[in-house]
Structure 1
Amino acid sequence: MLKLQQLVDYIFNSIPPIYLIIASTVVFVVMTTIVYTMRAKAANKPIQARKIILPPLFMSTGMFMFLFDEFQVPWTQVAEASLVGLIFSTFLIYTTRFEMKEDGIYLKKSKAFLVILLGLLVIRLLGKIVLSNTIDVGELGGMFFILAFSMILPWRIGMLMKYKRLENQYSK
């Protein structure tokens, strides 16, 4: 663990913060593209409860980042990032819809999802530009992770509730 901490220290002390911001933004754009592509493909197949539950579980492993000093975030910023994530999740919960077809429950395609994803991309980029002057890059990364997780978890819980409601309605 000490060697990994030394590597993280080396990266954060030797690479200029602007390069870290650019790299993390590029990674976020790539991940956004992957998420949108997966969502578009998922709309062509019946959805299952496990496909709703698994993404937040997989994402939760990212919490290990907080073992490193560079990513640790003060509790006030944890609360702020969580609140912003919860606010964003309401848009996702509201725009996520399911429909019943002959062979199962499907996720309805939504243009709002792309608009929300692109809006989050812009907000994240602007937030990084503004906040990187006052908050350390690693800490900022931790805050954005908290924001994303606190957005995805309630959204997926809301999705699961809608899915189960529709499943129960058609199983009667």
Structure 2
Amino acid sequence: MNSTISMMISVLIFFFILRGQLSGMRKPLKKSGVTLLLPILYISTSLMQLFDPSLHIREGQVIIALLIGVVVSIPLIVTTNFEVRDNGDTFIKRNKTVFVLIIVIFALRFLAVATIHAVDPSTLSFMCNLVTFGYIATWRITSFIKFRGVRSSKQGMLSA
């Protein structure tokens, strides 16, 4: 997969993430919270690049890319919280910092692709997708756990 297609996919994922965040702040999340995990499914489609015969990636590169993704997810995890509003529904707490972080992360990705020339484009593209997968999976799974905690504490208060 060439880097232009990869970047277009990244932009599409970027808009899906922003839309999901905005919608979660305006509309209540469903009771199960499974929609929080959908971006993992979206980004996992980029793993299809593994079938590209021109991809030359080593095990160490995969581990480093995933670790970078986990580190990048930390500020997103810290700034993503949930609240139960007066009507009893659970929403993503309004926080502009999340949007700034997402924009910075994607800007850094575009900068990396534009400036790193020591790695062939398909490998660099795949590594960027692995970083994205690492932070989205970590961030969204942790957010799902936070959401479930808020929902269960709300349920505990209702039954008391």
- Give the shorter-chain TM-score range: 0.7 to 0.9
* Equivalent residue runs for 1:27-66 within 5 Å: 27-48=9-30, 49-66=33-50
Aligned residues: 153
Greater CA deviation, 160-169 or 45-54?
45-54
Greater CA deviation, 94-103 or 46-55?
46-55
- Whichever residue aligns with residue 57 of structure 2, its letter is V
Identity %: 23
* Equivalent residue runs for 1:5-154 within 5 Å: 20-21=3-4, 24-25=6-7, 27-48=9-30, 49-101=33-85, 102-131=87-116, 133-154=117-138
- Whichever residue aligns with residue 20 of structure 2, its letter is M
Cα offset for 1:24? 4.2
Distance 2:89 2:105 in 1: 31
Cα offset for 1:42? 2.3
Distance 1:78 1:158 in 2: 22
Cα offset for 1:72? 4.3
Distance 1:34 1:61 in 2: 14
Distance 1:40 1:34 in 2: 10
Which entry has the higher C-alpha Rg, 1 or 2?
1
Contact 2:66 2:131 in 1 (8 A): yes
Q: State the Cα deviation string for residues 37-87 of structure 1 (Å, max 9, x = none).
A: 332122111113111122213432332220112234211111111111000
TM normalised by structure 2 equals 0.85
TM normalised by structure 1 equals 0.79
Long gaps (5+) in structure 1: 1-7, 13-19
Distance 2:100 2:125 in 1: 23
Higher relative contact order (CA 8 A, sep 6+): 2
Distance 2:54 2:95 in 1: 38
- Whichever residue aligns with residue 157 of structure 1, its letter is I
> Given the superposition, is the C-alpha separation of residues 51 and 34 from structure 1 closer, same or farther in structure 2, using an over 3 Å criterion?
closer
Contact 1:71 1:141 in 2 (8 A): no
Displacement over 4 Å in runs of 4+: none
> Given the superposition, is the C-alpha separation of residues 59 and 126 from structure 1 closer, same or farther in structure 2, using an over 3 Å criterion?
closer
> Given the superposition, is the C-alpha separation of residues 143 and 119 from structure 1 closer, same or farther in structure 2, using an over 3 Å criterion?
same
Contact 1:46 1:103 in 2 (8 A): no
Q: Report the secondary structure of 1:46's partner residue.
A: coil
